């Protein structure tokens, strides 16, 4: 089968927003970056040349890449970085993904501006499991920033634009023109580094029909909540009086900086007098955790003959993983934690350390001392994880490059347990590479091994690749480890991922060639 190749250049470009111009890292000079359109089951090669000043890698978020971890992208997990002046050819291998996914840089903080949509259309001649929309429009939620911790003056963006609530931004505001009576598909992506977002369109209902590249039973709602890394396919019908309406998005938690709401305009075609102030949606409040969790609880897989659910009914390997922000002793001058410590983060009290050569290569070539295979199946000790006023010293993490090895085709359950260590106020969007997983359970407090599994949804749980685990609660997922390779698993809040809230799952080869990892591509980047 013929495989197309596209060429990308990672380079700096000047970018003017909020009245000032700065240099940002881009693909082909674009922010957000170029959209990729593929069809279910397709392959595509993307040759990335690094014309910037820093190391970079690219990840295809939500693409399972069967047997092909070589192209997955996370820095020092499946490859060494593409150095300035070098290039690498990725091969995007789709399997059963369909809907909206995205791609982003996966090295340090570069994904702040290096990201874009990756849209998977149905197979040629096949339709959507809903009436064909008149048009589909990507909506990329982002922020104008250079990476690193946020500046007070940063603003969130919709398709690269902060919107007309801010100075100098009116002209560029993203406008979506609609015809009365028609239905549109919004392909919404939260590419923001650290914030969960609410999204609404004034006076219009939204119907969510998919998330993370899989269809769901339609949910009609006035707002959506979308966590970093997540994507949503949302239908909207232009059935209100022809006019201009605000689309708006803002963070679902209190922020330390201003400019927390970004806007775009839904603009009906035709002749009418445009309002001087379009109606504005009534977004849920900051810290409205009920709105967050109520929305997540409504997600159910489509579960039809054409879009079946294959959730493991029994489990071979069970992991119980605590998610914490904690502190480490601090020697240099970035001691940002309490009492002269520095902030860190961990899974089961292990704070992930990036190795100096990638885990995939070390595994494939049996290179010793790069990682250890003893990531623990449960936390080192038990306490009231979600209680108030937990001592900050409760968990000082151990640092290491620890991975969990899984047998090919084994069934896996992971219960992610949020903890209130350091009085964490944030949900953690846990993301797994190489697989999507079924969200079978979701609740508050400490997971109860006796009672909580009884409430699992093993019939039509949503199939996703990212789940917002509540700080004071838990989420249970199941999947089949049917993709041999080396797969990163981490919090999609960049701050937490960079502090060590990560681990790696290695899925062993099956017995046959077709159930084993592919051979490495001829050209690998040296470390």
Residues that bind ligand C2O (CB under 6 A): 59, 61, 74, 104, 106, 229, 431, 433, 488, 490, 492
Q: How far apart are CA 435 and CA 449, in angstroms?
A: 25
Stretch 400-439: interaction string toward Cu ion, x if CB under 5 A: ----------------------------x-----------
Choose, by CB under 5 A, the member of 48, 264, 491, 504 that binds Cu ion: 491
Q: How far apart are CA 373 and CA 375, in angstroms?
A: 6
128 binds, among ligand C2O, Cu ion, none (CB under 5 to 8 A by kind): none
CA dihedral in degrees (520, 523, 525, 526; nearest 10)?
90
The yes or no reply on residue 495 touching Cu ion (CB under 5 A) is no
Name the residue number minimizing CB distance to ligand C2O.
61
491 binds, among Cu ion, ligand C2O, none (CB under 5 to 8 A by kind): Cu ion
Q: How far apart are CA 241 and CA 227, in angstroms?
A: 32
Assess contact for 144 and 15: CB atoms under 8 A.
yes
The set of residues, in sequence order, having a beta carbon less than 8 Å from that of 369 and lying 6+ positions away, is none
The yes or no reply on residue 490 touching Cu ion (CB under 5 A) is no
Assess contact for 40 and 92: CB atoms under 8 A.
no
At closest approach, how far in Å is the CB of 501 from Cu ion? 5
- CB closer to ligand C2O, 229 vs 462: 229
- CB closer to ligand C2O, 404 vs 492: 492
- CB closer to Cu ion, 97 vs 212: 212
Assess contact for 325 and 418: CB atoms under 8 A.
no
Among the candidate windows 16-24, 43-51, 476-484, 487-495, which touches Cu ion by CB under 5 A?
A: 487-495
Q: Which strands sit side by side in the sheet containing 437-444, from one edge to the other?
A: 398-400, 350-352, 341-347, 317-329, 411-418, 473-480, 437-444, 463-464
Q: How far apart are CA 233 and CA 49, in angstroms?
A: 31
Instruction: Give the burial class of 279: count Cβ atoms within 10 A of its Cβ; 0-12 exposed, 13-18 middle, 19 or more buried.
Output: middle
- CB closer to Cu ion, 390 vs 491: 491
CA dihedral in degrees (513, 514, 516, 517; nearest 10)?
110
Binding-site size for Cu ion (CB under 5 A) equals: 4
The set of residues, in sequence order, having a beta carbon less than 8 Å from that of 522 and lying 6+ positions away, is none
The yes or no reply on residue 493 touching Cu ion (CB under 5 A) is yes
At closest approach, how far in Å is the CB of 505 from ligand C2O? 12
At closest approach, how far in Å is the CB of 471 from Cu ion? 9
CA angle centred on 337, ends 333 and 338, rounded to 5°: 115
CA distances from 235 to 138, 232, 279 (A): 12, 10, 20
- CB closer to ligand C2O, 431 vs 495: 431
428 binds, among ligand C2O, Cu ion, none (CB under 5 to 8 A by kind): Cu ion
- CB closer to ligand C2O, 116 vs 229: 229
Q: What number of residues does the chain have?
A: 527
At closest approach, how far in Å is the CB of 114 from ligand C2O? 12
59 binds, among Cu ion, ligand C2O, none (CB under 5 to 8 A by kind): ligand C2O
- CB closer to ligand C2O, 116 vs 278: 116
Specify the 3-state DSSP secondary structure of 186: strand
Other CB atoms closer than 10 Å to residue 51's CB: what's the count? Answer: 12
- CB closer to ligand C2O, 264 vs 323: 323
61 binds, among Cu ion, ligand C2O, none (CB under 5 to 8 A by kind): ligand C2O
At closest approach, how far in Å is the CB of 346 from ligand C2O? 17
User: Residue 402: beta bridge partners?
Assistant: 372
229 binds, among ligand C2O, Cu ion, none (CB under 5 to 8 A by kind): ligand C2O
At closest approach, how far in Å is the CB of 18 from ligand C2O? 26
Interface residues with Cu ion (CB under 5 A)? 428, 491, 493, 496
């Amino acid at each position: 089968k013929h495989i197309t190749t596209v060429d990308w250049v990672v380079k700096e470009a000047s970018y003017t927003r909020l009245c000032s111009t700065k240099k940002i890292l881009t693909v082909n000079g674009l922010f957000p970056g170029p959209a990729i359109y593929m069809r279910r089951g397709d392959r595509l090669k993307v040759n990335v040349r690094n014309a910037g000043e820093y190391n970079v890698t690219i990840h295809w978020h939500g693409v399972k890449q069967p047997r092909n971890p070589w192209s997955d992208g996370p820095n020092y997990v499946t490859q060494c970085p593409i150095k300035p002046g070098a290039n690498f050819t990725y091969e995007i291998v789709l399997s059963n993904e369909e809907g909206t996914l995205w791609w982003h840089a996966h090295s340090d903080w570069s994904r702040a501006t290096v990201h874009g949509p990756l849209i998977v259309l149905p197979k040629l001649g096949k339709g959507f499991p809903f009436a064909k929309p008149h048009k589909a429009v990507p909506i990329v939620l982002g922020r104008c920033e250079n990476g690193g911790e946020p500046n007070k003056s940063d603003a969130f963006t919709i398709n690269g634009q902060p919107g007309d609530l801010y100075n100098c931004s009116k002209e560029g505001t993203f406008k979506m023109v609609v015809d009365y009576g028609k239905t549109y598909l919004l392909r919404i992506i939260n590419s923001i580094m650290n914030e969960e977002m609410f999204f609404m369109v004034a006076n219009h209902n939204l119907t969510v029909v998919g998330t993370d590249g899989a269809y769901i039973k339609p949910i009609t709602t006035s707002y959506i909540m979308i966590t970093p890394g997540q994507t949503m396919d949302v239908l909207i019908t232009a059935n209100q009086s022809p006019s201009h309406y605000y689309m708006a998005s803002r963070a679902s938690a209190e922020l330390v900086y201003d400019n927390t709401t970004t806007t775009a305009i839904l603009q009906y075609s035709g002749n009418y007098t445009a309002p001087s102030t379009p109606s504005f949606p009534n977004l849920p409040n900051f810290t409205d955790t009920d709105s967050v969790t109520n929305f997540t609880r409504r997600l159910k897989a489509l579960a039809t003959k054409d879009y079946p659910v294959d959730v493991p009914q029994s489990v071979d390997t069970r992991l119980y993983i605590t998610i914490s922000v904690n502190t480490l002793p601090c020697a240099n001058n970035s001691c940002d934690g309490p009492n002269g410590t520095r902030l860190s983060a961990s899974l089961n009290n292990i704070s992930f350390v990036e190795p100096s050569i990638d885990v995939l290569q070390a595994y494939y070539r049996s290179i010793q001392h790069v990682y250890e295979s003893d990531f623990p199946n449960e936390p080192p000790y038990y306490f009231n994880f979600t209680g108030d006023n937990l001592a900050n010293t409760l968990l000082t993490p151990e640092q290491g490059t620890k991975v969990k090895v899984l047998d090919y085709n084994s069934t896996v359950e992971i219960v992610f347990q949020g903890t209130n260590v350091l009085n964490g106020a944030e949900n953690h969007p846990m993301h797994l590479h190489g697989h999507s997983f079924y969200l079978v359970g979701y609740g508050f407090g400490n997971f109860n091994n006796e009672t909580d599994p009884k409430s699992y949804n093993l019939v039509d749980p949503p199939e996703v690749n990212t789940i917002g685990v509540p700080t004071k609660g838990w989420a249970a997922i199941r999947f089949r480890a049917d993709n041999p390779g080396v797969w990163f698993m981490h919090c999609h809040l960049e701050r937490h991922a960079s502090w060590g809230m990560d681990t790696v799952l290695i899925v062993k080869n099956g017995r046959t060639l077709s159930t084993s990892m592919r051979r490495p591509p001829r050209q690998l980047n040296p470390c």
